[in-house]
Chains A and B, each alone.
Chain A
Amino acid sequence: MKSIYTLNSAEETMAWGQKFGNILDNKAIILLKGPMGAGKTTLTKGIARGMGIEEIVTSPTFTIISEYPGNKPLIHIDLYRLEGEDDFESIGLAELLDGPGVKILEWSEKLGDYIKGFETMEITFSILNDNKRQIETKGITLS
């Protein structure tokens, strides 16, 4: 099922993420798509807050994977610098996706067929104007 939401500011993106983070189960795989500066990390910060994680979520571009422990751990993965299956294997992506924890993947466009066979939720960002964003979700029901 597809849904479309309009988010008017970074704060709204954060709040939407928080609500969403609240209902996630411990094996969710969330694929984030969209251009640079669209709000992918901001949304992840909101999700982390909704999951009850106190540590501040920062961009995982440098370390590729950041894990935040908690009742439900958050595994924040950034594919920005990865190129193809060899790179995915080198970070142990398949095992991570199979394992426990909420997995959030930024720049998931890069995954291609690699993600087939996993049950996923998808959030695609588009930039409407300076602060306004639209997100289209697939596989997500928010009350």
Chain B
Amino acid sequence: MRILGIETSCDECSAAVVDNGRTILSNIIATQIEAHRPFYGVVPEIASRMHTEWIIPVVKEAIEQAGIEENTIDAVAVTSRPGLIGSLLVGMCFGKAFAFSKGIPFIGIDHIEAHLYAPHLEQDISYPYIGLLVSGGHSLITYVRDFDDYDVLGTTIDDACGEAFDKVAKFYDIGYPGGVAIDRLSKEGDDRAFNFPKPSLHKGDHQYDVSYSGLKTAAVNQLDLFWNGEAEKSRANIAASFQRAAIDIIANKAIKAARDKGVKKIVAGGGVSANSYLRRKMADQKDIQAIFPSLKLCTDNGAMIAGLSYHHLKKGRQSELNLNASARVPLFKKNYP
């Protein structure tokens, strides 16, 4: 089964052609980073306008690079939630129109589920495992039994992990996107210069939840309070110390979840999974195998949408053409969605 996958939930305009949920024939990702750089964050109006301009050339490029005929596509899969509503709608409208005009099935795909699926495009991974999804919009620790069967063990109770990176980077004028800029600057810094707080949420259902609001406030407003009294209060030292705390917060919870649940595998995804400190830290856990997708599949991409949709379509699922996009999924309910 040959599927065209489309992803426009945020600032990447992506289309991919994937065969049988595994073979990536093309995966075109047009990033809007440059357009959003002056604002140090994704500006929704800019994002949806650019998607409108880019979606047709991006899909054309995906079909051309795959070296296939348009009429060999068997189905169209599009991210339907969660994300920026205006951005989601562009991909959805295009995907529906494409499917309708070809008379082929259309299916809306959950962005979170697709990120968890992304590493499966590159290697065989057996279930169950702990899924760790960290990005600008999401911070999730999940227990994954199958591609469509998983529990959310923990999520953020305030800011997303990548959002904290972006906000701290903006405050100290470190660069955009914040995650990449802080990672780069951290290499020159002392990550013990500041001992930023890591919140401990131990209560009941919250034992795997994370919080970034306190860390953000500490890094922006309370430097003196957490300073080790020796190191220079430089941006590199702030970046390195912030990065260590931000990654430890969620990585420690994921490691704890794996040990508690007796699984030996953590599968990471989302933009922050490209972070070099996270990758080093995970590699240091001798009792746990950490699996990271390649950098191209960490970020938002159409291949993960097409790949995952194959398994849903194979189970006979598809969406009506009146399916709506939704910006938010009530993530806090422990049984996602």
Contact = CB atoms under 8 A, between A and B. Distances in A.
B332 A130 contact: no
A59 B43 contact: no
A10 B160 CA distance: 19
Contacts of B43: 81-83, 87
Nearest to A54: B332
Interface in B155-169: 155-160, 163, 167
Interface residues of B, number: 37
Given A55-B332, A59-B163, A86-B45, A65 B222 contact: no
Contacts of B216: 36-37
Given A42-B213, A58-B157, A58-B159, A90 B221 contact: no
Interface residues of A, number: 28
A118 to B, nearest CB: 21
A62 B44 contact: no
B44 A90 contact: yes
B90 interface: no
Contacts of B85: 63, 65, 91
Interface in B205-234: 213-214, 216-217, 220-222, 225
B221 A127 contact: yes
A142 interface: no
A94 B55 CA distance: 29
A63 B39 contact: no
B41 A58 contact: no
A35 B214 CA distance: 14
B202 interface: no
B82 interface: yes
Contacts of B84: 62-64
Instruction: Kindly name the residue among A35, A61, A65, A86 whose own CB sees the greatest number of chain B CB atoms within 10 A.
Output: A61
B131 interface: no
Nearest to A41: B158
B327 interface: yes
Contacts of B220: 35-37
A82 B327 CA distance: 16
Nearest to B136: A62
A1 interface: no
Nearest to B218: A37
Contacts of B330: 55
A41 B157 contact: no
A42 B213 CA distance: 9
B163 A62 contact: yes
Nearest to A37: B217
Contacts of A65: 85, 327
Contacts of B225: 130
B137 interface: yes
Nearest to B212: A59
B44 A59 contact: no
B219 to A, nearest CB: 8
A28 to B, nearest CB: 22
B82 A61 contact: no
A61 B327 contact: no
Given A37-B220, A90-B45, A59 B328 contact: no
Interface in B171-218: 171, 213-214, 216-217
Contacts of B332: 55-56, 58
A59 B45 contact: no
Contact of A66 (B48, B155, B160, B328): B328
Interface in A66-106: 66-67, 80-83, 86-87, 90-91
A56 B157 CA distance: 7
B135 to A, nearest CB: 9
Contacts of A81: 39, 41-44
Contacts of B39: 81, 83
A81 B328 CA distance: 17
B86 interface: yes
A24 to B, nearest CB: 21
Nearest to B333: A55
Kindly list the 4 A-B residue pairs having the minimum CB-CB distance in the complex, ordered from nearest. A37-B217, A62-B137, A90-B45, A59-B159
Given A36-B216, A37-B216, A82-B43, 16 more contacts: A35-B221, A41-B159, A41-B213, A58-B155, A59-B156, A59-B213, A61-B167, A62-B160, A63-B83, A63-B137, A63-B327, A63-B328, A80-B41, A81-B39, A83-B39, A83-B43
